[in-house]
Amino acid sequence: MSLQIEPSLFPFFKPRGVVIVGASQNPTKLGFGLARNLLQSGYEGAVHFVNPKGGTLLERPIYPTIADVPQPADLAILLIPASLVPQGLIACGQRGIQAVIIASGGFRETGPAGAELEDECLRIAQDYNMRLIGPNCIGLLDTHLPLDTTFLPPPGPTPGAVAFISHSGAICAAVIDWARGQGFGLSQLVSLGNQIDVRETDVLGSVAADPHTRVITLYLEGVSDGRHFVRAAAQVTREKPVLALKVGRFASGQRAVASHTGALAGSEAAFEAAFRRAGVIRANTSEELFDWARALAWCKLPQGRRVAVLTNAGGPAVTAADALEAHGLQLADLSAETKNALRQFLPQAASVNNPVDLLAGASPEDFAHSLRHLLADEGVDSVIVIFPPPPMYAAGGIARAIIPIIYAAQKPVIAAVLGERMIQEAVEYFRAARVVEYRFPERAAAALAVLVQRAEYLASQPETPQRVVGVSPERVHHALRQHAGIEEQPGFLPQEVVEEMLTAYGMVTPPLRLAETAVSAAQLADEMGYPVALKVASPDIPHKSDVGGVRLNLLSATQVEAAFVEMMAQVETAVPAAHIAGIHVQRMIPQGQEVIVGAVQDPQFGPMVMFGSGGVEVEGLQDVTFALAPLTRAEAQAMLQRTWAGRKLQGFRNIPAADQDAVVDAILRLGQLVADFPQIQEIEINPLRVMQVGQGAFAVDARARVG
């Protein structure tokens, strides 16, 4: 196990003595609740209370100042007015305390004055080499140590295997209560508040290092340093599953950018890509977060996607089968042996095909025998057992009968016990035995799909992106420098510079020459050979075809000259302010499938590549996918699989198969380019025209923006 508590955070997770600054004798105050929780938690280290009023609290002395507190004391919780926090921190620092939770509110969330106060706190922390959690947070809770530095109303959570790290303090009380209601325990809970120092990424590894923690759940409003988060999470997910609920999906999609790639990226696509890279499983709702955490904490992982459904009720089994298929799982084909064995003791009307329907009268023994046979079938990777309140037997009896079998099994079994009150006894048996149960078949199917996802992730070989060979960063540097002042002046690059960058990174562009007059355009075309295309050359016109700035398939010098004159007039009318350098003449290249390959710098996650259906309709079709750059060949291939544009490259009906390797190569090379040159804000090849297998792909049109 390579996971370890980050040394500077050690006093938060394993304090020898805790000081509560702002402990209160008044039971209606949070400062009382905090003192009470810490004592009631059973924390075995030293507990100290500080309040200038002095006195005693819960049979213990209250020290008037932090300086008065005896040894040991390595973690302080401040629950005092915001304005007093800086001097409290200084006192902690002087006392040698290097870990402080600022529970108090009244900081950045209240306006500029509060933000200044935060900055002051951070300076003090740096002076004393001190780590801070908060402010404006609930603190930290560990059910196994045990330790509870929160002021939440009791009871606290029961000990368990699920850790929760949260940007929202307000949700913590709900999480503790949900956990209790759903019958699972928590290992640790960390509320991070305004995160002036310690952030989600900092605690992730330390929380994962707790041997009691089997699953880490995250409630994220964002991440502070995208790449750092991805690295830290990727390390954790190889050992323990991480589930994340990322909120604030819609707030950030407002960035106005010129390229398709930029408009499509937004932070949602970046988070998808980042979670995928890091092996983090994304929950879409709060309910899924904890549904799935329970399953990951308690279940064995399946060896495959083949599921057997065992039930006394046909209808809900169909619902479950629907949900399984929707999640990409499949109903197992039962072996003849299994079916025969089931027929031996089941009534004739029972179905021994999957879903196995025992009928309403099924006894607990029927469930137990059937489950044993299903688990023994080599074609079955997991089982869902579904039952509504049975008309003839107690639901609890079924639970009791199958729990020992589930325990002994090497395959996961998930229960869907439909109903609420009449099945309560069964639910309690299952929970006591740590068998995962849900009230609805669809939720059981979704949880099983997450187990499969986790198993497949662990089975995949972790790979590190390799540097792409045959690229020349020097040529790109040169091209950018040559275009004088380009690095200072943000905007779209001239076509020649873009072509030079692509060529330097090993991509093939059709020959392109700049013509300033109609006559020279015709001469260039004669030299290249026909057919040719004309494209207006202007850094001020990113979408050339929108303004009549493109002519295709010109077959003769006469056509080229006429098109040149006509285009110039048209473009000058459409965009009078644009600086037009001339018109590019380009040899037309053969027909082929057309895709888009792009790349952007995401503000949170840095360089990312995009791939998908291109053309002018890219925004309408939304058939695109993103990945962090640079990336592995396997990641680039997976991008093809996730899109229709990519799957179509294998050939479809009368569309011949195209050169998939060339596309993968273009994705890898463009990813390397934006990773090497962070000043390239966006670059987009649209279309990349893909020839037949072995014939490569051409960057027919491209543009790039620096900033």
Binding mask 38-67 for a copy of itself (x = CB under 8 A): ------------------------------
Q: Are 623 and 648 in contact (CB under 8 A)?
A: no
State the Rg of the chain over Cα.
32
CB 104, min distance to a copy of itself, A: 12
Rama region for 193: left / alpha / beta (φ>0; ψ in -120 to 50; rest): left
Binding to a copy of itself in span 176-215, by CB under 8 A: 176-178, 180-182
Tell whether residue 218 is a contact of a copy of itself (CB under 8 A). no
Q: Which residue has the tokens 């900033």?
A: 707
Q: Among residues 221 and 333, whose Cβ is nearest to a copy of itself?
A: 221
Name residues contacting a copy of itself, limited to 332-361 (CB under 8 A): 348-349, 359-360
Task: Give the per-residue contact string, 559-598, with a copy of itself (x = CB under 8 A; - = no).
Answer: ----------------------------------------
Closest to a copy of itself by CB, 183 vs 379, is 183
Tell me if 174 contacts a copy of itself by CB under 8 A: yes
CB 515 within 8 A of CB 705: no
What is the arrangement of strands in the sheet containing 17-21, beginning at the earlier edge strand? 56-57, 60-63, 46-50, 17-21, 75-78, 99-102, 131-133
Q: Is 325 in the site for a copy of itself (CB under 8 A)?
A: yes
Contact 584, 249 (CB under 8 A): no
State yes or no: residue 644 binds a copy of itself (CB under 8 A): yes
Binding residues among 494-523 for a copy of itself as defined by CB under 8 A: none
For the CB of residue 392, give the shortest distance to a copy of itself in the complex, in Å: 8
Q: Which stretch binds a copy of itself (CB under 8 A): 223-231, 652-660, 669-677, 690-698?
A: 652-660
Q: Of residues 64, 72, 248, 404, which one binds a copy of itself by CB under 8 A?
A: 248
Are residues 105 and 134 in contact, defined by beta-carbon separation less than 8 angstroms? no
Residue 298: other Cβ atoms inside 10 A: 21
- What 8-state DSSP symbol labels residue 252? T
Q: Which helix (H) or strand (E) holds 78?
A: strand 75-78
Q: Which two tokens stand for residue 570?
A: 């048209």
Q: Which of 6, 272, 287, 333 binds a copy of itself (CB under 8 A)?
A: 287
Residue 657 in tokens: 């198969």
CB atoms within 10 A of CB 216: 28
Whole-angstrom distance, CA of residue 322 vs CA of residue 357: 16
Does residue 422 touch a copy of itself according to CB under 8 A? yes
CA distance 699 to 684: 9
Nearer to a copy of itself, 311 or 495 (CB): 311
What are the C-alpha distances in Å from 202 to residues 165, 169, 193? 11, 17, 14
Q: Does 540 bind a copy of itself (CB under 8 A)?
A: no
Map the footprint of a copy of itself across residues 598-617, applying CB under 8 A: 616-617
Please identify, using beta-carbon distances, which residue of 349 and 459 lies nearer to a copy of itself: 349
The amino acid occupying position 21 is: V
> Quick one: which of 372, 477, 587, 647 contacts a copy of itself (CB under 8 A)?
647
Q: Which of 199, 455, 208, 417 is nearest to 307 (CA)?
A: 455
Query: Would you tell me the crossing angle of helices 660-676 and 633-642 to the nearest 10 degrees?
Result: 120
Q: Which residue in 4, 110, 466, 679 binds a copy of itself (CB under 8 A)? A: 110
Q: Which of 543, 603, 695, 707 binds a copy of itself (CB under 8 A)?
A: 543
Per-position x/- string for 88-107, each x denoting binding to a copy of itself as judged by CB under 8 A, each - no binding: -----------------xx-
What is the sign, positive or negative, of the torsion defined by CA atoms of 80, 86, 92, 94? negative
Burial 169-182 (b: 16+ CB within 10 A, else e): bebbeebbebbeeb
Provide the minimum distance between the beta carbon of 36 and a copy of itself in the complex, in angstroms, as a whole number: 13
Q: Which of 141, 236, 323, 631 binds a copy of itself (CB under 8 A)?
A: 323
For position 391 contacting a copy of itself by CB under 8 A, the verdict is: yes
Task: Answer yes or no whether residue 319 interacts with a copy of itself by CB under 8 A.
Answer: yes
Regarding 642 and contact with a copy of itself (CB under 8 A), the answer is no
Quick check: helix, strand or coil at residue 586? strand
Q: Coil, strand or helix: which one is 51?
A: coil
365 sits near a copy of itself (criterion: CB under 8 A): no
Minimum CB separation of residue 306 from a copy of itself in Å reads: 15
245 binds a copy of itself (CB under 8 A): yes
| 390 CB neighbour count, 10 Å cutoff | 22
Residue 620 in the binding site for a copy of itself (CB under 8 A):
yes
From the number of C-beta atoms within 10 Å of its C-beta (0-12, 13-18, 19+), residue 318 rates as middle
Give the H/E segment covering residue 277: helix 260-278
Residue 255 binding a copy of itself, by CB under 8 A: no
Q: Least distance in Å: CB of 677 to a copy of itself?
A: 28
Our CB check for a copy of itself shows the closer of 285 and 344 to be: 285
Size of the site for a copy of itself (CB under 8 A): 86
Length of the chain: 707
Q: Is 651 in the site for a copy of itself (CB under 8 A)?
A: no
> How near is the Cβ of 509 to a copy of itself at its closest, in Å?
22
Q: Name the DSSP class of 630.
A: S
Instruction: Output 221 or 526, the one with its CB closest to a copy of itself.
Output: 221
